[in-house]
Amino acid sequence: MASKTSIQAVKGTREFYPEEMALRNYLYAKAGAAGQAFGYQEWDAPFLETIDLYAAKSGEELVKEQSFVFNDRGGDPITLRPELTPSLARMIAARQGQLAFPLRWWSFGPFWRYERPQKGRSREFFQWNIDLLGVSCPEADGELIAIAATFLKSVGLTPEMATIFVNNRRLMDAQFEAIRISPEKRLEVSGLVDRRSKMAPDAWESLALEKGISGGQLAGLKQVLGNYDLWRECEELVRLFKALAALGVSEYVKFDPNIMRGLLYYTGTVFEAFDLSGSVRRAILGGGRYDNLLGDVGGDPLSGVGFAMGDVVIGIILQEKGLLPAFVPSPAPVLVTVFDESLWMNALGLASELRAGGLRVLSYPEPAKLSKQFKFADRMGIQVVTVVGPDEAANGHVTVKNLSNGTQETVERAETFKTIVKILESAAER
């Protein structure tokens, strides 16, 4: 479509009109609440970093292909952060001796990745990151999964709608070894496992054979990937599921040997949440346990567990399921109308009196026909409208109308505040 302006928004960015902003703030609030319920502290890192920070640790593609890099005016290369973990590692290493471990930190902010925008993926997105650092037991993994489940529940997603699938890298390594897949081949096999759910079974099997997996190994692999009781052979997972039961979130969590996760740094528990009932096939959130967080930034070994959730996928899912609260643009519950030019200052004064009492009050910015002002109030989701016309002004009165039921009363000006509060309270009760 021809746009009115010739300047378009940058590809892959989203514009946040008040409705979208309300959704973003809603996700921020729910993510924050889930972490805070478990005693996590909010933190953040710079949005601009040097490319060197990522060169060491992150996946190759993420740095070389998917980062926004540019030179600043001094000629130094700057990267818009594509992920948070390297910044976390640097900040921890810098104060490793002073921080009180275990550390529980959460963050919610913007990230940039230069990739093709599509459903659930944009180039500029917001991501919730949450980590527990300095302990390495499976019960700690359980805490993070419980936080994820708490969040899913708090936004109205039931276990039927959203499930957290869990696996363990060490368990899978042992299984791969048992079917004689060499250590050098395991990365490739992990990728193969990742793709299995996206492919037709036949196509996947021929791809596996192409990649040099023997027929016997393929049979063994299929057996492993189909064994949903495999977790019983892994002490870490047995303990994890015991902890999840104690934390009361078992219904949200399932073992699945097909969950691998591409990132190299995961060493133990890995997990991903999916909505199996909707149209989005992407993970809502994903995370796991990593060792040696600080290895590349020069700190002492530190183990941690954490996960990340982007705002795009969860936003689509909540929208599709009608789980978003009514994000009506209601900037204030009260509108003070301006009857005509001679009563304009009267209206400004009334609005000011009501604000002094603590009400959020919008006053119509200029005199206009009352029907226009009422229509505006209706469209803005305003609950109460006041009118001071010549009659009210002459008697020191104010007419207060309740837009939700259409009733109105005329009261002494001094009683206006109380009358409005009563209407708002009775509306809140329902």
**Interacting residues with RNA (CB under 7 A):** 1-2, 8-9, 11-12, 59, 61-62, 66, 113, 115-122, 125, 127, 191, 194-195, 198, 261-263, 272, 281-286, 308-310, 312-313, 339, 370-372, 374-375, 377-379, 385, 387-392, 399, 401, 403-406, 408
Between 273 and 302, name the residue whose CB sits nearer to RNA: 273
Write down the least CB distance from residue 234 to RNA, Å: 22
Among 89, 86, 84, CA closest to 133: 89
Between 83 and 143, name the residue whose CB sits nearer to RNA: 83
Write down the least CB distance from residue 331 to RNA, Å: 16
Between 131 and 392, name the residue whose CB sits nearer to RNA: 392
Between 88 and 283, name the residue whose CB sits nearer to RNA: 283
Between 229 and 429, name the residue whose CB sits nearer to RNA: 429
Between 62 and 99, name the residue whose CB sits nearer to RNA: 62
Between 66 and 96, name the residue whose CB sits nearer to RNA: 66
Between 236 and 275, name the residue whose CB sits nearer to RNA: 275
Per the CB < 8 A criterion, the answer to whether 78 and 72 are in contact is yes
Between 206 and 404, name the residue whose CB sits nearer to RNA: 404
Q: Tell me the sheet residues that pair with 286.
A: 272, 308
Q: In a 10 Å sphere around its CB, with 0-12 CB exposed, 13-18 middle and 19+ buried, how is residue 136 labelled?
A: middle
Q: In a 10 Å sphere around its CB, with 0-12 CB exposed, 13-18 middle and 19+ buried, how is residue 390 labelled?
A: exposed
Q: Which helix (H) or strand (E) holds 275?
A: strand 266-275
Token pair recorded at residue 215: 């027929």
Write down the least CB distance from residue 82 to RNA, Å: 8
Q: Give the integer Cα–Cα distance in Å for 341 and 374.
A: 17
Q: DSSP H helical segments within 70-185, as ranges?
A: 85-94, 138-154, 169-178
Write down the least CB distance from residue 232 to RNA, Å: 27
Peptide bond before 102: cis, by omega within 30 degrees of 0? yes
Write down the least CB distance from residue 53 to RNA, Å: 17
DSSP class per residue in 345-402: HHHHHHHHHHHHTT--EEE-SS---HHHHHHHHHHTT--EEEE--HHHHHHTEEEEEE
CA angle 86, 88, 93 (to 5 degrees): 95
Q: 361-363 and 68-71 as β-strands: parallel, antiparallel, unpaired?
A: unpaired
Write down the least CB distance from residue 250 to RNA, Å: 22
Which amino acid would we find at residue 40? Y
Return phi, psi of residue 327, to 5°: -85, 55
What's the first-to-final CA gap in the chain, in angstroms? 44
Between 372 and 418, name the residue whose CB sits nearer to RNA: 372
Q: 68-71 and 77-80 as β-strands: parallel, antiparallel, unpaired?
A: antiparallel
Coil, strand, or helix at residue 63? helix
Between 223 and 319, name the residue whose CB sits nearer to RNA: 319
Q: Give the integer Cα–Cα distance in Å for 18 and 362.
A: 17
Write down the least CB distance from residue 242 to RNA, Å: 26
Token pair 């009118």 is at which residue? 387
Q: Tell me the sheet residues that pair with 363.
A: 336
Write down the least CB distance from residue 39 to RNA, Å: 23
Write down the least CB distance from residue 8 to RNA, Å: 6
DSSP class per residue in 68-93: EEEE-TTS-EEEE-S-SHHHHHHHHH
Write down the least CB distance from residue 129 to RNA, Å: 9
Write down the least CB distance from residue 93 to RNA, Å: 21
